């Protein structure tokens, strides 16, 4: 098992985890799909898949030749409770905020350069977003993602952004690392981040940091997402104030103090679109 001194990971273990994640993302996959999708060497792929099946992480259907997640993956997943306290405490506050605004409220954690949604309060009526708990989106194209990245040290945020290919999802998506660093820095100073049709045309989002590793044990952020057609000249200032209040309430319920997180003041919402990616 090889180990890279600059990046101390065990190659075979990393490859096994990558296979499990790939199959999980696909639902099921054939040997050829796994081989080509992950560029695995054929010589070792069979042995790796057999090992994962023997350990219960994968199942192999001999009839259709498909691999899927095994019982062991489910068992381990059920044991993970790291986010449950945060989600359980936040959800009632999110529900009230969603009902009062008539818009979708989302709670996400940072995993690498992706935001993972752990709780969602869908808008009570009208257009509803297709997001769901467990969904993962690249952070560079979302407001909640940039809010999460703003809690990292600048060097760490840059390292993560440079580690993956950043797709352009709309005409406004920012993919230039320098421009993204600037947006994340501005979000850190302002205490909030925006998505102005960067992930999806016709959709806007304003997000604030919620807890950090030092405070709540994980990087978490809270957002309000809405169709562009339902925003007005007051956006996002008219959404930011109740969003910040909800975030403060959740932190108080958790007993978390976040001295390093910037709380947007009223003056910050007078002209808050200056951190939007209009030049994307």
**Where residue 41 sits, what CATH number does that domain have?**
1.10.10.10
Domain final residue, candidates 43, 62, 78: 78
Same domain, 253 and 118: yes
Q: Is residue 116 part of a domain?
A: yes
Domain count, the chain: 2
Same domain, 115 and 25: no
- Together in a domain, 238 and 142: yes
- The answer on 264 and 136 residing in a single domain is yes
Per-residue tens of pLDDT for the chain, all 280 residues: 333 334 445 777 888 988 998 898 888 999 999 999 998 888 888 899 999 999 999 999 988 999 999 888 877 776 666 677 889 999 999 999 999 999 999 999 999 899 999 999 988 765 556 567 888 899 999 999 999 999 999 999 999 999 888 999 999 999 999 999 999 999 999 999 999 999 999 999 999 999 988 777 789 999 999 999 888 888 888 899 999 999 999 999 988 877 667 777 654 444 455 555 433 3
- DSSP characters over 212-280: -TTTTSS-EEEEEEEEGGG--TTTTHHHHHHHHHHHHHHHHHHT---TTSPPPPGGGGSSGGGGS-TT-
Structure tokens at 138: 């690249």
Question: What's the pLDDT at 75?
Answer: 75
- Position 278 scores a pLDDT of 39
Domain that holds residue 27: 11-78
The CA-atom distances, in angstroms, between 153 and each of 148, 193, 219, 271 are 11, 16, 12, 26
- Of 78, 96, 120, which residue constitutes the final position of a domain? 78
Q: Are residues 70 and 189 in the same domain?
A: no
Q: Can you state the angle between helices 42-54 and 11-26, rounded to 10 degrees?
A: 70
Q: Is 74 helix (H, G, I), strand (E, B) or coil?
A: helix
Say how far apart CA 178 and CA 184 lie, in whole Å: 10
* Whether 58 and 127 share a structural domain: no
**Two structure tokens written together for 180:** 């993204």
Rounded CA Rg of the chain: 20
Q: Are residues 92 and 64 both part of a single domain?
A: no
In this structure, the answer to whether residues 24 and 67 fall within a common structural domain is yes
d(CA 230, CA 206): 14
With a CB cutoff of 8 Å and minimum separation 6, the contacts of 203 are 129, 195, 197, 225, 226, 227, 228
Instruction: Give the pTM.
Output: 0.71
Distances (CA, A) of 205 to 25, 161, 215, 224: 26, 20, 24, 6
Alpha-carbon 150 to chain mean position: 13
- Whether 175 and 42 map to the same domain: the answer is no
Residue 224 lies in a domain: yes
Which residue's entry shows tokens 């009062």? 100
Q: Say if residue 155 is in the same domain as residue 247.
A: yes
142 and 161 in a single domain? The answer is yes
Q: Verify that 192 and 156 share a domain, yes or no.
A: yes
């Amino acid at each position: 098992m090889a180990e890279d001194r600059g990046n101390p990971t065990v190659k075979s273990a990393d490859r096994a985890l990558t296979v499990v994640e790939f199959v999980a993302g696909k639902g099921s996959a054939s040997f050829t799909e796994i081989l080509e999708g992950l560029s695995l060497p054929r010589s070792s792929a069979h042995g790796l898949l057999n090992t994962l099946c023997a350990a219960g992480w994968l199942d192999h259907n001999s009839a259709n030749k498909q691999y899927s997640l095994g019982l062991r993956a489910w068992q381990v997943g059920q044991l993970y409770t790291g986010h449950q306290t945060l989600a359980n405490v936040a959800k009632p506050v999110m529900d009230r905020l969603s009902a009062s605004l008539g818009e979708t409220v989302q709670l996400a954690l940072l995993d690498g350069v992706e935001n993972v949604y752990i709780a969602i309060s869908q808008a009570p009526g009208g257009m509803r977003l297709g997001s769901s708990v467990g969904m993962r989106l690249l952070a560079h194209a979302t407001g909640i993602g940039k809010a999460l990245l703003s809690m990292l040290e600048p060097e760490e945020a840059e390292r993560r952004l440079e580690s993956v290919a950043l797709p352009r999802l709309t005409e406004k998506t920012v993919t230039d690392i320098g421009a993204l660093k600037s947006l994340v820095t501005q979000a850190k100073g302002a205490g909030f981040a925006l998505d102005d049709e960067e992930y999806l045309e016709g959709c806007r989002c304003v997000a604030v940091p919620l807890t950090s590793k030092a405070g709540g044990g994980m990087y978490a952020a809270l957002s309000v997402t809405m169709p562009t057609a339902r925003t007005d000249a007051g956006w996002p200032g008219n959404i930011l104030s109740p969003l910040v209040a909800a975030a403060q309430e959740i932190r108080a319920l958790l007993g978390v103090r976040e001295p390093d997180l910037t709380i947007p003041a009223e003056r910050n919402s007078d002209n808050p679109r200056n951190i939007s990616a209009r030049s994307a």
